[in-house]
Amino acid sequence: MKKIIYSLPFIIILFISCREGIVDFPDDSKTGTLFISSSPVGAEIFFESNKTGKVTPDSLIILQPGSYNLKLHLPGYPDENFSVNVQSGQRKYINISFSGY
């Protein structure tokens, strides 16, 4: 019985400290996700004319519904510009083949 009494504060502290590490993720049903790949891979991804720091294959997450302009840049190939419409809760997969590949 003494072991249980001495263990109880430890268990309570352990339970409380574990609560600190819980991460809340945003509600995916209100945003969209784009999964972008290319042939060949390694193209820089530009979102609304801004560098994202990402290269294909990669994804753009937590996008508000709407229409967006994207560009893929791969040295040695013409840039690929395209528009995409994102809807709530949608996961869209895009594969771009560069000309001449």
CB of 56 within 8 A of CB of 36?
A: yes
Whole-number average pLDDT of the chain: 84
Predicted local distance difference test score (pLDDT) of residue 53: 96
The 10s digit of each residue's pLDDT in 63-93 is 999 999 999 999 999 999 999 999 999 999 9
Burial class (CB in 10 A: 0-12, 13-18, 19+), 95: exposed
Sign of the alpha-carbon dihedral angle for 40, 99, 48, 28 = negative
Q: Which CATH architecture has domain 28-97?
A: Sandwich (2.60)
DSSP code of 30? Answer: G
- pTM tops 0.85, yes or no: no
Question: 5 pLDDT exceeds 80?
Answer: no
